[in-house]
Amino acid sequence: MADRAGCDPAWQAVEVSTLRELAEEHTQLRPADVDHLHRIAGDWQLLSDLSFADLLLWVPVDGDESFLCVAQVRPTTAPTAYLDDQVGRIVGGPEVAHLTIAYSQGRIWREGDPVWYGDVPARHEAIPVRLRTADGEAGEVIAVVGRDTNLSTARTPSQLELNYLTTADDLAQMLADGTFPPPRHPGETTSAPRVGDGLVRLDASGKVTYASPNAQSAYRRLGFASHLVGEDLAVLHRRLATDPLEGTDAANGILAALRGEAPPRREIDARGATMLTRALPLMPAGVPIGALVLVRDITEVRRRDRALITKDATIREIHHRVKNNLQTVAALLRLQARRVGIPAARAALEESVRRVASIALVHETLSMSSDEAVEFDGIVDRVARAAAEVAATDTPVRMRREGSFGVLPAEIATSLVMVLNELLLNAVEHGFPPSDSAPEPGTVSAGAEVVVSAHRFRKQLHVTVDDNGRGLPADFDAERGGNLGLQIVRALATGELRGSIELRNRAGGGTEAVLVVPLAAPRPR
């Protein structure tokens, strides 16, 4: 056996990077070629597990008779042949003869003696990688997949292992043909069923020729107690599914795979259990010989999903009821204010109505959201309009927002909306107080403006509310002065929001309130 130790001079190492960056730096592969290699790396765990082998993706290096490893996957069904990561390695000389043959001749290489990786004996195989042309023809070889099997635990293979290896050889030939992996359907993630979840192999007629123990167990949960071998799987799916339409979709997926297509994943519900299925065509050398069906029991996953949906609906309903209750409280306070004859008491009640209404805005938004977070810009705009409409001033004030608050968690949004409500009302009422005489009809005071600015910086939200009004009085005490509204602002800013607030006069006239709120996780209570 040949010996390949870690210090072998035939090996070089480059700085490990992503597959795309390695390919762009060291090869002349086209973007479409690299995209195809990405698809292989996203779906080749299946081939690795069926092969009981490590897979290494090799690309030829420009201007050199060497190959660069750009991706690697280890089997979950067998021990790895490599303890060290091979990505970023450049191999040349006689050690890559098998890769050179597969690349230049476009055929799968299986001959040769085992080699040693340190203390581990391994068997070499090399599979050429083709990207099919736009008209469906087999294109040129763009890379080679090395399939290296750890032989230290070699034993007489079982029926399961024989079926896995046979299927792996079919997929390897499809990889060399350019028909594996199949294109991914929109919206599909990588959480597909795997070999260990359950595997069913079908012949060209759709009959089961082999079913792994885990696959047999998954179908038993759906209510099928007999052995799967010999069953027409499409017919079985129609029979088992609780929903006839769902059963027809699952059966059509099987039939599509038998025709050489790659259907999207399907779910089957029966007897309270749910199974996810993925059907792959088996077409070595372009000849349809059957299909491979991977199955996963996702009953508990769907149960948790339903529980989360129920929980989300309950939370939204709670926010809806809180919003309704707050609006009721605001209506009661408004009604009471109309009956109070003391102007100061009426003004206090009206301020309370506005404060309660601003909190209700947050809960109204949360009642329409699927999580405990709100898009805050719309809330700020509504609060600003309300402040301009109800403020006791005869000066029309223009409200404007700059920047974006973004999405904020509920615990920040509730306190922040109260702070902004108070700051906006103070800016309008105290920055532009009522004059002794009403303006002439049709006249507009020019230039009265309040601007709310927001931006994020280093996990902090920086908010500024400034106006071009008359500014703060000379004897204003920023720490203790101010009305009840400013006291509320200071208490919420430094308490609930764990931030800071500063009130000061602007250089060009007017007042500026600067609020800094940390956006890190809230401290435990």
- On the question of pLDDT at 457 being above 70, the answer is yes
CA dihedral 164→165→169→172, nearest 10 degrees, is: 70
Q: What type of residue is 515?
A: L
Name the band, by pLDDT with cuts 50, 70 and 90, for residue 390: low
Give the chain's mean pLDDT: 84
Name the band, by pLDDT with cuts 50, 70 and 90, for residue 399: confident
pLDDT digits (tens, 9 = 90+) for 262-276: 999 999 999 999 999
Cα–Cα distance, 358 to 326 (Å, whole number): 10
Residue 115: per-residue pLDDT: 86
More confident residue, 262 or 309: 262
Name the band, by pLDDT with cuts 50, 70 and 90, for residue 464: very high
Cα–Cα distance, 114 to 234 (Å, whole number): 43
Lowest mean pLDDT of 29-33, 273-277, 370-374, 464-468, name the range.
370-374
pLDDT digits (tens, 9 = 90+) for 109-167: 998 888 887 788 999 999 999 998 877 787 899 999 999 999 987 777 899 999 999 99
- Residue whose token pair is 């290096």: 61
The arithmetic mean of pLDDT across residues 389-404, rounded, is 76
H helical segments located in 129-243? 159-177, 213-221, 233-240
Name the band, by pLDDT with cuts 50, 70 and 90, for residue 442: very low
- On the question of pLDDT at 31 being above 70, the answer is yes
The arithmetic mean of pLDDT across residues 178-191, rounded, is 78
- On the question of pLDDT at 191 being above 70, the answer is no
Angle, vertex CA 124, rays to CA 122 and CA 128, nearest 5: 150
Neighbours of 150 (CB within 10 A): 21
Lowest mean pLDDT of 99-108, 461-470, 472-481, 506-515, name the range.
472-481
CB under 8 A, 24+ apart: contacts of 84-90: 84/6, 85/16, 86/56, 87/16, 87/22, 88/13, 88/14, 88/15, 88/16, 88/17, 88/22, 89/11, 89/12, 89/13, 89/14, 90/11, 90/12, 90/13, 90/14, 90/26, 90/61, 90/64, 90/66
The arithmetic mean of pLDDT across residues 195-199, rounded, is 93
Sequence-ordered list of residues with C-beta below 8 angstroms from that of 82, at least 6 positions apart, any chain: 54, 72, 74, 117, 120, 148
| Helix, strand, or coil (residue 434) | coil
Cβ(290)–Cβ(259) below 8 Å: no
Q: What type of residue is 207?
A: K
Cβ(130)–Cβ(176) below 8 Å: yes
Angle, vertex CA 205, rays to CA 200 and CA 210, nearest 5: 25
- Whether the model pTM is above 0.75: no
- On the question of pLDDT at 216 being above 50, the answer is yes
Q: Give the rounded distance of the alpha carbon of 24 from its chain centre.
A: 27
Q: How far is CA 61 from CA 17, 23, 118, 127, 368, in A?
A: 15, 9, 25, 17, 55
Residue 300: per-residue pLDDT: 87
Residue 422: per-residue pLDDT: 82
Cα–Cα distance, 422 to 493 (Å, whole number): 12
Lowest mean pLDDT of 59-73, 97-111, 218-232, 318-332, name the range.
318-332
My answer on whether omega of the bond before 193 falls inside 30° of 0, hence cis, is no
Lowest mean pLDDT of 5-9, 31-35, 142-146, name the range.
5-9
35: enclosing H helix or E strand: helix 31-43
Sequence-ordered list of residues with C-beta below 8 angstroms from that of 372, at least 6 positions apart, any chain: 315, 366, 409, 410
Residue 484: per-residue pLDDT: 73
Name the band, by pLDDT with cuts 50, 70 and 90, for residue 524: very low
Residue 436: per-residue pLDDT: 45
The arithmetic mean of pLDDT across residues 4-26, rounded, is 67
The arithmetic mean of pLDDT across residues 368-379, rounded, is 77
Residue 233: per-residue pLDDT: 97
Name the band, by pLDDT with cuts 50, 70 and 90, for residue 334: confident
Residue 33: per-residue pLDDT: 94
The arithmetic mean of pLDDT across residues 458-479, rounded, is 83
- On the question of pLDDT at 180 being above 60, the answer is yes
Q: What are phi and psi of 94, to 5 degrees?
A: -65, -20
Q: E strands, 302-417, where?
A: 373-375, 398-403, 407-409
- On the question of pLDDT at 2 being above 70, the answer is no
- On the question of pLDDT at 418 being above 80, the answer is yes
Domains, the chain, ordered by start: 19-177 (3.30.450.280), 195-300 (3.30.450.20), 304-433+444-518 (3.30.565.10)
Name the band, by pLDDT with cuts 50, 70 and 90, for residue 411: confident
